[in-house]
């Protein structure tokens, strides 16, 4: 099938590449010429494990191409996936102007019937507005444009795997032919009929993905409600961590046991510096706005957000407590990305934490395996190091702000010797307190006595 993708951000790029991987003919556009130039040269503008192999294969098979022309992209596909950004407005509501803009372009340029699929995360009822906008702008051409919602559940860092091996595919549709078209598009994924670029020689056995057909409003709500629920789970774990610390319990033990209850589930119970990234924080805010606009008092979401913002204050207090005076102290930070296996620093707890430390007069050195270039745009005035050992050299405290595997496996004796004061503040509970103490570190973490 011929598929168009508008927007080559995390979601659009992974969507386009993976649709090509499973055999569709994909054309993808973006309004950022610099990004397109990188893509056209065969490189990737983001770090996403496995995506380089997928894009290379798709290009070799000539199933994926990039275009600077939205008109060409729109004309090139039977189904058009809208994957543009919906960033937060100053009041936290989602900015949907890019969706409106794309609707106008589609309606103006389309010369044959199209299925317009919203994949961007949007508040419920956006599909209805999109339908209205498409109808207005295509009034003169009279071309048939159907609308569907197909929310994306992929996570950065495991995006290719999540896209090709989803647990569910949700499609919100208004007619049978849209459902049929989407079923056809996802057929190779549903039937696992592709050579998986992630697993070799074969994918692990697992349940087949579920294909759920809903209304457009429900599909949109499913996405926001899912991300907000995950955020609430994390905030809950973080509050229990605070309590565990006061009571002399161990949050890791508590959450492991809780997660064994299938009604609770083990994921997203990891206490730490709170949830960051471009999805959870903005989606929680947008969901709060949606509830408010709809006259529903969803205060528990506000509370989850408040707990999350407070994580950084709490950790800064911990650092201050350990260092007595922060001003003038050399603090090393390991990790800048909002989580491991990505170079994304948007709304990263590490960035917020460093900003706070700088405000208090600390001198900061940092290292991240992938995110340093991006971090430089947000934090131009810190020292970037080539290795964790360089960060440790003469530091009075070493903060772990992102849970990269690389940090788990450091030569910690070497780190211990390099530091001025061997003090570790582990914001991700990545290391073993016992092991760190045996190696001669002062070790502080979250929710563990
Ligand atoms: C999230 C959702 O998990 C995806 O399902 C969704 O498709 C995506 O948003 C999106 O809307 O596009 P992502 O932003 O890639 O994915 O990151 P997550 O893995 O959800 O992590 C978000 C934040 O929560 C990170 O800062 C992470 O470190 C933190 N986190 C996660 C915890 O603090 N504890 C946990 O137990 C899990």
Domain residues of the chain, as ranges?
2-214, 226-449
pLDDT of residue 416: 98
Q: Which long-range contacts (CB under 8 A, 24 or more apart) does 132-141 make?
A: 133/100, 133/103, 133/104, 133/107, 134/103, 134/106, 134/107, 136/107, 137/103, 137/104, 137/106, 137/107, 137/108, 138/107, 138/108, 138/110, 141/107, 141/108, 141/110, 141/111
Contacts of 251 (CB under 8 A, 6+ apart): 237, 240, 241, 244, 245, 271, 429, 446, 447, 448
- Edge-first strand listing for the sheet containing 114-118: 64-67, 25-29, 2-6, 79-82, 114-118, 145-149, 168-172, 210-214
170 in ligand 1 pocket by Cβ < 6 Å? no
pLDDT of residue 196: 79
Q: Which of 229, 273, 280 to mutate to test the pocket of ligand 1 (most atoms within 8 A of CB)?
A: 280
Per-residue pLDDT of the chain (449 residues; tens, 9 = 90+): 999 999 999 999 999 999 999 999 999 999 999 999 999 988 999 999 999 999 999 999 999 999 999 999 999 999 999 999 999 999 888 999 999 999 999 999 999 999 999 999 999 999 999 999 999 999 888 999 999 999 999 999 999 999 999 999 999 999 999 999 999 999 999 998 777 787 777 777 778 899 999 999 999 999 999 999 999 999 999 999 999 999 999 999 999 999 999 999 999 999 999 999 999 999 999 999 999 999 999 999 999 999 999 999 999 999 999 999 999 999 999 999 999 999 999 999 999 999 999 999 999 999 999 999 999 999 999 999 999 999 999 999 999 999 999 999 999 999 999 999 999 999 999 999 999 999 999 999 999 97
Q: Could you confirm whether 203 is annotated as catalytic?
A: no
pTM: 0.95
pLDDT of residue 434: 95
- Is 226-449 assigned to CATH 3.40.50.720? yes
What residue's CA is closest to ligand 1, atom 2? Answer: 155
Q: Specify the DSSP element, H or E, that contains 72.
A: helix 70-76
Task: Give the number of the atom of ligand 1 that is nearest the alpha carbon of residue 234.
Answer: 34
Contacts of 116 (CB under 8 A, 6+ apart): 79, 80, 82, 103, 106, 130, 134, 145, 146, 147, 148
What residue's CA is closest to ligand 1, atom 1? Answer: 155
Distance 338 CA to ligand 1 centre (A): 9
What residue's CA is closest to ligand 1, atom 30? Answer: 275
Cα separations in angstroms, 196 against 57, 64, 180, 189, 193: 12, 17, 24, 10, 9
Instruction: Answer whether 48's CB lies under 8 Å from 161's CB.
Output: no
Task: Give the number of the atom of ligand 1 that is nearest the alpha carbon of residue 402.
Answer: 28
Give the span between the Cα atoms of 132 and 98, in whole angstroms.
15
pLDDT of residue 205: 76
> Into which CATH architecture does domain 2-214 fall?
3-Layer(aba) Sandwich (3.40)
pLDDT of residue 207: 81
């Amino acid at each position: 099938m011929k598929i168009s993708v508008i927007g080559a951000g995390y979601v659009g790029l992974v969507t386009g590449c993976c649709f090509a991987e499973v055999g569709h003919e994909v054309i993808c556009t973006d309004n950022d010429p610099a990004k397109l130039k990188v893509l056209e040269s065969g490189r990737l503008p983001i770090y996403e494990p496995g995506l380089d192999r997928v894009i290379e294969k798709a290009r070799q098979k000539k199933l994926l191409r990039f275009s600077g022309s939205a008109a060409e992209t729109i004309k090139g596909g039977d189904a058009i996936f809208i994957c543009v950004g919906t960033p937060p407005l100053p009041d936290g509501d989602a900015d949907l102007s890019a969706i409106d803009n794309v609707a106008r372009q589609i309606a103006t340029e389309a010369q044959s019937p199209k299925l317009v699929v919203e994949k961007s995360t949007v508040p419920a009822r956006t599909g209805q507005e999109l339908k209205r906008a498409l109808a207005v702008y295509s009034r003169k051409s009279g071309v048939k444009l159907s609308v569907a919602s197909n929310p994306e559940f992929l996570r950065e860092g495991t995006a290719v795997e999540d896209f090709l091996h989803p647990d569910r595919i949700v499609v919100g549709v208004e007619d049978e032919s849209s459902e049929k078209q989407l079923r056809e598009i996802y057929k190779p994924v549903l039937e696992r009929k592709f050579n998986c670029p992630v697993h070799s020689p074969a994918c692990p056995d697992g349940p087949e993905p579920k294909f759920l057909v809903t209304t457009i409003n429900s599909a949109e709500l499913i996405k926001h409600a899912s991300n907000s629920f995950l955020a609430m789970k994390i905030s809950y774990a973080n509050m229990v961590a605070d309590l565990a610390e006061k009571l002399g319990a161990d949050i890791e033990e508590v959450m492991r046991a809780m997660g064994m209850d299938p009604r609770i589930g083990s994921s997203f119970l990891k206490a730490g510096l709170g949830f960051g990234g471009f999805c959870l924080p903005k989606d929680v805010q947008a969901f709060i706005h949606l509830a408010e606009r709809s006259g529903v008092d969803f205060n528990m979401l506000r509370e989850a957000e408040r707990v999350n913002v407070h994580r950084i204050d709490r950790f800064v207090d911990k650092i201050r407590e350990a260092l007595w005076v922060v001003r003038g102290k050399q603090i090393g930070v390991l990790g800048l990305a909002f989580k491991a296996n990505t170079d994304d620093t948007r709304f990263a707890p590490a960035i917020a934490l460093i900003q706070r430390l700088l405000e208090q007069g600390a001198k900061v050195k940092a290292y991240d395996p992938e995110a340093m270039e991006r971090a430089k745009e947000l934090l131009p005035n810190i020292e970037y190091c080539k290795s964790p050992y360089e960060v440790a050299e003469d530091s009075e405290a070493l903060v772990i702000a992102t849970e990269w595997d690389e940090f788990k496996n450091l030569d910690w004796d070497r780190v211990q010797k390099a530091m001025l004061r061997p003090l570790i503040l582990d914001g991700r509970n990545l290391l073993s307190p016992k092991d760190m103490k045996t190696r001669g570190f002062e070790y502080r973490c979250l929710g563990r006595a």
